[in-house]
C-alpha cells in the first residue's frame, strides 16, 4: 500500500505586496477597489456584511450594475482608457472593464504566483516546462515565464489567449518560450499524452461550467477527475509542482486535496490547500475569493 502524501491546511492566503491594486472597502454584496489610479465598484456575492468605514464610495470611476435579466452594465463617472497596466512586483498586466464585470485579472492569485515562481527559479539550470490550463488572460503564464519556465498556455477562448499575448508583450516576453493554444483543455491534454510530451509543473483554474472551442461541454463536478487522470499521464517523472485553483461554490479544499492525493500518489512531496483572498484596506477583514490545492515535490527553503 502506497503511503498517503501528507496534506496541510493553510490559513487564508492574501498578498500584501500589491501596490497597484487595493480592495478598499466592502458593503453588502459590493466591492470597492483601486486598479492603478482607477476606482471601480463591482458585485461580489461573498461580501455579506455592511461597511463600517467612511470610505468615499461616491468617488468611483466605474460602477458595475447587475441586470435582473442577467449580465449587467458599467456606469462610468469619467472617461477611462480602453485598457491600462497594473504592476505586481516585476510583473505587468493589462486590465480593462469587461461586459461581465471582470477586469482580466484576479489579484488574489498573486499568492500562487509567489509560491511557484521560486520553485521555477531554483531549477534555472534545467528549464522547467509548465502547462497552464484554462489559462484565461495569462496571469500565471506570465509569472511562470518571468521565472524562467517554458510555458504552454491553453484556453478555449481565442480572445483570452490574445489577451495573454498582450500581457506577454507588456512584460517584454514576446520572445519567451510560451506556446499559445486555443483548444479544449481535456482534448489538448489527451493529445499531449499520446504525443509523449511531459511537464514539470501543471497549473489549472477549471471553471464550474464551460464550453470548448468546438462546443465541448465542461462541468467541473463531472469532468475534473477525468482531466486530473489525463494530467497524471503528462506529469514528468521529476515533476516539481501541481496547482489547482477553483472558484466553484460548494467545492472545498479538502475535496481537491483528496483528488490530488490520488493523482500524485507515489511521487512523494506534500500537499497544501486552503483559500485565497483579499485583505480589505478599511477594516482588515479577509475576503475569501476561491480555493487552491498545491502539490510540491520539495519546498524551497
For 43-87, how does the pLDDT look when each residue is reduced to its tens digit (9 = 90+)? 999 999 999 998 899 999 999 999 888 889 999 999 999 999 999
Domain positions in the chain: 7-15+104-296, 21-91
CATH of 7-15+104-296, one of 1.10.600.10, 3.40.50.740, 3.40.50.150, 3.90.550.10: 3.40.50.150
What pLDDT, on the 0 to 100 scale, is given for residue 1? Answer: 44
Which CATH fold topology does 21-91 show?
Immunoglobulin-like (2.60.40)
What pLDDT, on the 0 to 100 scale, is given for residue 124? Answer: 65
7-15+104-296 against 21-91: fold identical? no
For 227, other C-beta atoms within 10 Å of its C-beta total: 20
What pLDDT, on the 0 to 100 scale, is given for residue 125? Answer: 66
Percent of the chain whose pLDDT exceeds 70: 97
What pLDDT, on the 0 to 100 scale, is given for residue 228? Answer: 99
Question: Quick one: pLDDT band at residue 300, thresholds 50, 70, 90?
Answer: low
How far apart, in whole angstroms, are the C-alpha atoms of residue 37 and residue 286?
A: 23
Q: Helices H, strands E: what count in the chain?
A: 6, 18
pTM, whole model, 2 decimals? Answer: 0.95
What pLDDT, on the 0 to 100 scale, is given for residue 214? Answer: 78
The mean pLDDT value for 158-162 works out to 98
How far apart, in whole angstroms, are the C-alpha atoms of residue 131 and residue 144?
A: 10
Question: Quick one: pLDDT band at residue 135, thresholds 50, 70, 90?
Answer: very high
**Three-class SS of residue 187?**
helix
Is the pLDDT at 149 greater than 60? The verdict is: yes
Is the pLDDT at 255 greater than 50? The verdict is: yes
- Among all chains, which residue has been given the C-alpha cell 504552454? 152
Average pLDDT taken over every residue of the chain? 95
For 205-240, how does the pLDDT look when each residue is reduced to its tens digit (9 = 90+)? 999 998 877 788 889 999 999 999 999 999 999 999
Amino acid at each position: 500500500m502506497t503511503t498517503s502524501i501528507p496534506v496541510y491546511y493553510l490559513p487564508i492566503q492574501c498578498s500584501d505586496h500589491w501596490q497597484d491594486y487595493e480592495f478598499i472597502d466592502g458593503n453588502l454584496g459590493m466591492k470597492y477597489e483601486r486598479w492603478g489610479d482607477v476606482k471601480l465598484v463591482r458585485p461580489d456575492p461573498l461580501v455579506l456584511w455592511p461597511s463600517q468605514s467612511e470610505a468615499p464610495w461616491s468617488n468611483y470611476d466605474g460602477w458595475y450594475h447587475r441586470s435582473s435579466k442577467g449580465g449587467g452594465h458599467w456606469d462610468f463617472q469619467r472617461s477611462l482608457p480602453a485598457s491600462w497596466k497594473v504592476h505586481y512586483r516585476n510583473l505587468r498586466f493589462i486590465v480593462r472593464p469587461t461586459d461581465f464585470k471582470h477586469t482580466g485579472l484576479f489579484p488574489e492569485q498573486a499568492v500562487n504566483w509567489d509560491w511557484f515562481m521560486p520553485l521555477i527559479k531554483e531549477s534555472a539550470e534545467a528549464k522547467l516546462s509548465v502547462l497552464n490550463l484554462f489559462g484565461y488572460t495569462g496571469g500565471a503564464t506570465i509569472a511562470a515565464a518571468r521565472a524562467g519556465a517554458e510555458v504552454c498556455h491553453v484556453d478555449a477562448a481565442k480572445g483570452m489567449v490574445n489577451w495573454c499575448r498582450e500581457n506577454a508583450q507588456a512584460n517584454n516576453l514576446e520572445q519567451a518560450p510560451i506556446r499559445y493554444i486555443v483548444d479544449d483543455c481535456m482534448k489538448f491534454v489527451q493529445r499531449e499524452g499520446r504525443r509523449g510530451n511531459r511537464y514539470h509543473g501543471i497549473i489549472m483554474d477549471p471553471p464550474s461550467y464551460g464550453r470548448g472551442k468546438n462546443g465541448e461541454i465542461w462541468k467541473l463536478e463531472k469532468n475534473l477527475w477525468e482531466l486530473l487522470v489525463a494530467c497524471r499521464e503528462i506529469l514528468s517523472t521529476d515533476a516539481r509542482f501541481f496547482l489547482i485553483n477553483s472558484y466553484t461554490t460548494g467545492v472545498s479544499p479538502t475535496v481537491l486535496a483528496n483528488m490530488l492525493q490520488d493523482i500524485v500518489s507515489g511521487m512523494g512531496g506534500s500537499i497544501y490547500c486552503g483559500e485565497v483572498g483579499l485583505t480589505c484596506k478599511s477594516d482588515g477583514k479577509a475576503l475569501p475569493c476561491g480555493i487552491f490545492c498545491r502539490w510540491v515535490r520539495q519546498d524551497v527553503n
